[in-house]
Amino acid sequence: MRDMAAPGDVHSADYLIEARDVVYDFGETPALRGANLSIREGEILAVMGPSGSGKSTLLHCLAAILVPKHGGIYLSGQRVDTLDENERSALRRDTFGFVFQFGQLVPELTAEENVALPLLLAGLRRDDALRRAREWFERLGIDGLERRRSGELSGGQAQRVALARGLVAHPKVLFADEPTGSLDSLTGELVMELVVTAARQDGTTVVLVTHEPRVAAYAGREVIVRDGLVNSLVHDALAP
């Protein structure tokens, strides 16, 4: 990654990823109105908030999918929102992993090809990529499903395949946007259990957007996004 940071743009390297005074709008509709958030390496953070509060927009800005209209995103102290589209794309591919609400697997590919996708995009040979992908099937309890296509998987199975795809390249940060939103309670808990176990074993930082308190309880800390701003829940004046 090319260092695009201007002098003075370098922020605290104590944090792996930071949003500083981030503003984003969709035309006339403001989504983020000066959001600040600092996340330490290895932390599992839940981002909560009501529908339309801006929590998914915040995740997309942190993950270099959206470029803030104002403010900056910093990764290990280096500014990343000012990178060009190709550089941000490389950052997403090499440094970040993603899991979304509906898995979003490629229907034409088998489960193992889906999992191998980030490795193939990073230039790994097909055999190596598939071999590394298969290791995750056992780890996430979905061995035997490697050759199935997404239409032949249950919701919980598909979401575990999506999780394997999100983690296969050992990302620094896993961004998970309502990863259990389409699952029943028990399957949702299984997926969260796998996220936490894998993240703790590999030291992966996780940014988890959820509106479900029982999912947020798997995180080590939670913040709430309200009206485009980030609140830490515990107010200084009231802190125990």
Partner 1 sequence: MSVPFALLGLLEREPSHGYDLKRDYDSYFGRSKPLPFGQVYATLGRLSRDGKVSPGEIEPGDGPDRKRFAITEAGKQEFETWLREPVEPEPHLQTVLFEKVLLALMLGRSAEQYLDTQRAAHLRRMRELTELKRQDSLIDALLADHGLFHLEADLRWMDMTAARLPSLASMVAT
Report the nearest approach of partner 1 to the CB of residue 197 (Å): 8
φ/ψ bin of 99: left (φ > 0), alpha (ψ from -120 to 50), beta (otherwise): beta
Report the nearest approach of partner 1 to the CB of residue 225 (Å): 13
Report the nearest approach of partner 1 to the CB of residue 221 (Å): 9
Does position 90 bind partner 1 by CB under 8 A? Answer: no
Give the tokens for residue 32.
Answer: 């983020």
Helix (H, G, I), strand (E, B) or coil at 210: coil
Following DSSP, what letter does each residue of 112-141 receive, concatenated? Answer: HHHHHHHHHHTT--HHHHHHHHHHHHHHTT
Q: Which amino acid is at 173?
A: V
Cβ distance to partner 1 smaller for residue 65 or 196: 196
Does position 238 bind partner 1 by CB under 8 A? Answer: yes
Query: What is the DSSP-derived secondary structure letter of residue 11?
Result: -
How far apart (Å, rounded) are the C-alpha atoms in residues 40 and 76? 9
Does position 217 bind partner 1 by CB under 8 A? Answer: yes
Does position 135 bind partner 1 by CB under 8 A? Answer: no
> Contact with partner 1 (CB under 8 A): which of 143, 184, 193, 202?
193
Window 37 to 66, contacts with partner 1 (CB under 8 A): 50
> Contact with partner 1 (CB under 8 A): which of 164, 222, 228, 230?
222
Q: Which residues contact 138 (CB under 8 A, 6 or more apart)?
A: none
How far are the Cα atoms of 97, 109, 119, 137 from residue 204, in angstroms, in the given order? 10, 27, 17, 19
Segment contacting partner 1 by CB under 8 A, of 71-79, 94-102, 141-149, 209-217: 209-217
Which positions lie near partner 1, rule CB under 8 A?
Answer: 50, 189, 193, 196, 212-214, 216-220, 222, 224, 231, 233-235, 237-238, 240
